[in-house]
């Protein structure tokens, strides 16, 4: 069995690029939020050559302008925490013989750090490579890039209309920057959107594995294509505290402050594939109130003994999860999205509002 995790959301709550942009100052967060929203718009309109998550390429000129380095990215990453239960989940999956991969839009400096904390080796992490020294070796071209970036940054501070802001970014990213010799989408190969799906397909092909033995776990717009791929190929697509861009592409949903409950879905999948997962999810959905009032009465076929012990060790303070069968014909997606939104904000705070 093999499982592919998105990193930011399911495994660590920090949006590393967002936090790195804050090193610029107060305007750094605003610029990142604007570009993140712009990323959503370009994705939804199907802009040719653009992938969800390419935000990490678009912010590079601003990082370069303000002298942000790879060391700064690592330093910010050192403050990142893990989602509750992530280390336990990875340990238990490894003990069960699962192959574990992280497929992340994150810069390599962050992805490898979180992987190390979880015991996932770099060979099993696909992420966005970043080396500032290789981006703009020509001093004259770099000066032109810095001047253009400085001008647009000042203009973004003064622009209040979203339409005007998007027009400004369109001109900057697709006209002005290429004219300086720096096209961010060509300089940075961001692992987002379709590239996540491509990475999973390549791994499955190289290992000679069947998608019916695969799980993908994601939560945002950068994950919908990998969720869609795994689901269409017969695997299990799980959305964890997802947003409106990812939930419709999943097989099942898990809303929880603790990702250790994903073990329930993984065990069910290993035991009987998707039909078994759907049985367990439907049982949890119909009996959740009962389980919450008497967790000791949760049937053994709905939770493993070790996970039950893990819950007991939390001294009863562990809130039970919400499971959703997203593929049910009568699934109330609006309600599911709202519940996931609330859980997402609890786990990820301000980063939860990003696409």
61-70, 151-160, 214-223: the lowest-pLDDT one? 151-160
What number is the average pLDDT over the span 15-37? 91
Ramachandran category for residue 177: left, alpha or beta (phi over 0 → left; psi -120 to 50 → alpha): alpha
Does 307 have pLDDT greater than 70?
yes
**Quick one: pLDDT at residue 312?**
80
Q: Are 193 and 220 spatial neighbours (Cβ–Cβ below 8 Å)?
A: no
Q: What is the mean pLDDT of the segment spanning 163-170?
A: 89
Mean pLDDT value across residues 197-206:
98
Of the candidate ranges 22-26, 220-224, 249-253, 283-287, the one whose mean pLDDT is the lowest? 22-26
* Rounded alpha-carbon distances, angstroms, from residue 102 to 84, 165, 248: 17, 34, 22
In the prediction, which pLDDT does 355 show?
A: 47
DSSP string for residues in 181-214 = T--HHHH-----THHHHHHHHHHHHHHT--GGGE
Tens digits of residue pLDDT in 33-81? 999 999 999 999 999 989 999 999 999 999 998 999 999 999 999 999 9
Per-residue confidence at 354, pLDDT binned at 50, 70, 90?
low
Q: Which of 330, 351, 335 is nearest to 16 (CA)?
A: 351
* Average pLDDT over every residue of 140-158: 85
Please report which confidence band the pLDDT of residue 157 belongs to, taking 50, 70 and 90 as the band edges. Answer: confident
What does the pLDDT average to over 216-240? 97
pLDDT of 346 over the 70 cut = yes
Highest averaged pLDDT of the listed ranges 140-149, 239-248, 341-350:
239-248
CATH 3.40.50.1000 fits 1-15+82-129+190-355, yes or no: yes
pLDDT of residue 237: 98
Side-chain half-sphere exposure of 105, counting CA atoms within 13 A:
28
Dihedrals φ, ψ of 14, to 5°? -70, 135
Contact 159, 28 (CB under 8 A): no
| 74-78, 153-157, 190-194, 271-275, range with the lowest pLDDT | 153-157
- The pTM (predicted TM-score) of the whole model is 0.93
SS3 state at 325: strand
Q: Is the pLDDT of residue 350 over 70?
A: no
Q: What are phi and psi of 6, to 5 degrees?
A: -70, 155
User: What is the pLDDT of the chain when averaged over all its residues?
Assistant: 92
The pLDDT of residue 351 is 55
Residue 316's pLDDT band (boundaries 50, 70, 90)? Answer: low
Name the percent of the chain lying above pLDDT 70. Answer: 97
Whether the pLDDT of residue 134 is over 90: the answer is no
Residue 120 pLDDT > 90: yes
């Amino acid at each position: 069995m093999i499982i592919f995790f998105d990193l930011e959301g399911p495994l660590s709550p920090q949006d590393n690029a967002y936090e790195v942009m804050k090193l610029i100052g107060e305007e750094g967060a605003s610029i990142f939020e604007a570009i993140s929203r712009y990323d959503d718009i370009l994705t939804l309109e199907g802009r040719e050559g653009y992938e969800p998550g390419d935000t990490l390429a678009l912010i590079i000129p601003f990082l370069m302008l303000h002298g942000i380095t790879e060391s700064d990215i690592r330093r910010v990453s050192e403050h990142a925490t893990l989602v509750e239960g992530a280390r336990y989940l990875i340990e238990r999956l490894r003990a069960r013989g699962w192959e574990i991969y992280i497929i992340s839009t994150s810069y390599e400096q962050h992805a490898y750090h979180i992987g190390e904390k979880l015991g996932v080796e770099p060979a099993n992490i696909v992420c966005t490579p970043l080396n500032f020294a290789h981006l703009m070796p020509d001093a004259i071209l770099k000066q032109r890039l810095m001047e253009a970036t400085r001008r647009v940054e000042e203009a973004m501070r003064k622009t209040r209309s979203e339409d005007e802001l998007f027009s400004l970014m369109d001109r900057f990213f697709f006209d002005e920057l290429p004219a300086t010799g720096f096209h961010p989408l060509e300089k940075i190969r961001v692992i987002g959107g379709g590239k996540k799906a491509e990475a999973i397909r390549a791994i499955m092909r190289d290992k000679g594995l069947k998608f019916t033995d695969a799980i993908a776990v994601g939560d945002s717009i950068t994950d919908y294509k990998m969720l869609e791929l795994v689901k269409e190929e017969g695997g299990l697509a799980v959305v964890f505290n997802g947003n409106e861009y990812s939930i419709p592409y999943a097989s099942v949903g898990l809303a929880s402050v603790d990702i250790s409950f994903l073990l329930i879905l993984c065990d069910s999948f290993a035991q009987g594939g998707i039909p078994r997962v759907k049985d367990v999810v439907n049982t949890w959905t119909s009996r959740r109130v009962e389980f919450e009032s008497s967790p000791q009465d949760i049937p053994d076929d709905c939770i493993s003994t070790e996970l039950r012990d893990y819950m007991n060790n939390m001294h009863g303070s562990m809130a039970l999860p919400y499971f959703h069968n997203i593929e049910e014909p009568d699934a109330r997606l609006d309600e599911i999205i709202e519940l996931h939104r609330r859980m997402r904000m609890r786990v990820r705070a301000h980063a939860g509002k990003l696409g």
